[in-house]
Structures are given as structure tokens and as C-alpha cells.
């Protein structure tokens, strides 16, 4: 299943990469672009329009699936042919006792694949038995709630994370808005030290500890933007805390 909103330029590529699926469910947040027309070109694609948080829509897509196995994909993600072949092999003879499969994520930024920093090899739970996993819908960056045995695939999926600097900034603004608006505020104000420590921690992790510097200026950009994300999130939390709890700005 694929959640989407106003992402028609990306959607067609995502759909074409999963043509091997028995059914494709697109849960759309009332896009104002050509999303319906694109979905109509794929006979086994079911388009559902629904307004919710992204993971709420993903869970709804899971509920609509009729097959024994479910896979989630975003519009900026692709299943390359070698992974598609591996998935077909899995589904032809599903191993006993396995809940699902983790795919390793191949991160692309401005058209270049990150191999260090945030691009170091890490895995995401993507393919699983229907009913075996759901999202809590508490955050825009959360993992599946699930259990059992998960196996890693040999091949990875492609994630076109950011196609330009402007996309970094738009996503930072969108995702921090969605997280902060449902955050349970504490009685005390977010401390200023967090506005310093958390951005520095993010930059240290992705540029130095995980050697993002080996990806050149793109590695520097990615680590810097992940640092900016932490600062923006802190500022929005503090802004909301001041507004709702009536504190005097300090």
C-alpha cells in the first residue's frame, strides 16, 4: 500500500516498481494534482481518499488489503528489479515462522546515493503477514508495532529522500508541525540547552561518528539539515508551550 498527497510526479514511478503485486492500494489525502488519473492507469490499483495522519492512512490501507502478505511503500520509494525478484521468491514459498522482512534502505539525496552518515546500511520493516503489524500513529517517524521473527533481505529498496534543498526545508516544516501538534506538553518549558545539545548531537552522529564526511558536500548537507530539524522541532515545541500554558517568554 502507498500513502500519498500531491505527489503525482513521484507516484507513477512507485506504482511501476510494484507491478508484480496482486493488488495496489493508494490511500490519498485528497490530492489536488493528477493522482486519480495516474492510479486509473493501473488496473489493479485501488484509490481511496482519506484525511488523517500519514500512518493513520497507512493502517487503513493495511485493513483494506486482502492478500496474505502486505508491503508498504512511499511515493518517493522504488522496488528495484533485483528486490522485486527476491520478493516474488519469498511470496512463492513463504518461510514458516517468519512474521516479516526488513529491506535495507538505499538513500538518495539530490540524485546521489548516500553510503555513510544517514546513508549507512540500516533496515526498515516493509513486508509482513497481514495483521501482524500496525503503526501507533503517535509520531511522523515511528516504527511498526509488531513481534515475531523478522528476516533481512539481500537486496535493498531505493528511497529518493530529497531532490533539492527546498524539499529538505518543506519536509522539515511539515513533519515538525505534525509531531508538535500532537505532542503532550510537560509542565516545564523545553530547556534552552536542548536547543543546543540536540542539533549538535545530530550533526556529530551523521557527519562524524557515522562518517558522513565521506559523502562529500552532500554528506555535510544531510547532516546539517538533520541538525536543523532538531532546532526547528525544539523551537516549535517551545512556541506551543508559551502559547498554551501562558508562560512569560524567557
The pTM is what? 0.90
pLDDT tens-digit series, residues 139-185: 998 999 999 999 999 999 999 999 999 999 999 999 999 999 999 99
Quote the CA–CA distance of 24 and 29 in Å, as a whole number: 16
Quote the CA–CA distance of 124 and 129 in Å, as a whole number: 15
pLDDT tens-digit series, residues 102-113: 999 999 999 999
30 grid coordinates: 485528497
Amino acid at each position: 500500500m502507498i500513502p500519498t498527497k500531491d505527489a503525482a510526479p513521484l507516484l507513477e514511478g512507485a506504482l511501476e516498481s510494484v507491478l508484480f503485486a496482486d493488488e495496489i492500494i493508494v490511500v490519498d489525502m485528497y490530492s489536488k494534482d493528477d493522482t486519480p488519473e495516474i492510479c486509473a492507469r493501473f488496473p489493479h490499483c485501488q484509490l481511496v481518499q482519506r484525511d488523517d495522519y500519514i500512518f493513520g492512512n497507512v493502517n487503513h490501507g493495511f485493513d483494506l488489503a486482502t492478500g496474505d502478505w502486505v508491503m508498504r511503500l512511499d511515493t518517493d520509494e522504488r522496488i528495484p528489479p533485483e528486490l522485486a525478484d527476491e520478493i516474488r521468491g519469498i511470496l512463492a514459498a513463504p518461510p514458516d515462522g517468519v512474521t516479516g522482512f526488513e529491506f535495507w534502505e538505499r538513500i538518495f539525496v539530490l540524485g546521489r546515493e548516500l553510503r555513510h552518515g544517514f546513508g549507512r546500511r540500516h533496515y526498515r520493516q516493509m513486508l509482513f503477514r497481514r495483521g501482524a503489524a500496525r503503526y501507533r500513529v503517535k509520531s511522523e517517524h515511528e516504527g511498526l508495532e509488531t513481534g515475531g521473527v523478522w528476516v533481512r533481505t539481500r537486496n535493498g529498496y531505493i528511497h529518493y529522500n530529497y531532490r533539492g534543498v527546498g524539499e529538505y526545508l518543506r519536509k522539515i516544516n511539515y513533519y515538525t508541525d505534525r509531531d508538535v501538534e500532537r505532542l503532550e506538553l510537560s509542565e516545564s518549558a523545553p530547556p534552552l540547552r536542548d536547543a543546543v545539545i540536540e542539533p549538535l548531537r545530530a550533526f556529530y552522529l551523521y557527519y562524524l561518528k557515522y562518517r558522513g564526511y565521506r559523502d562529500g558536500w552532500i554528506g555535510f548537507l544531510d547532516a546539517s539539515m538533520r541538525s536543523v530539524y532538531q532546532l526547528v522541532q525544539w523551537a516549535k515545541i517551545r512556541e506551543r508551550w508559551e502559547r498554551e500554558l501562558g508562560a512569560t517568554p524567557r
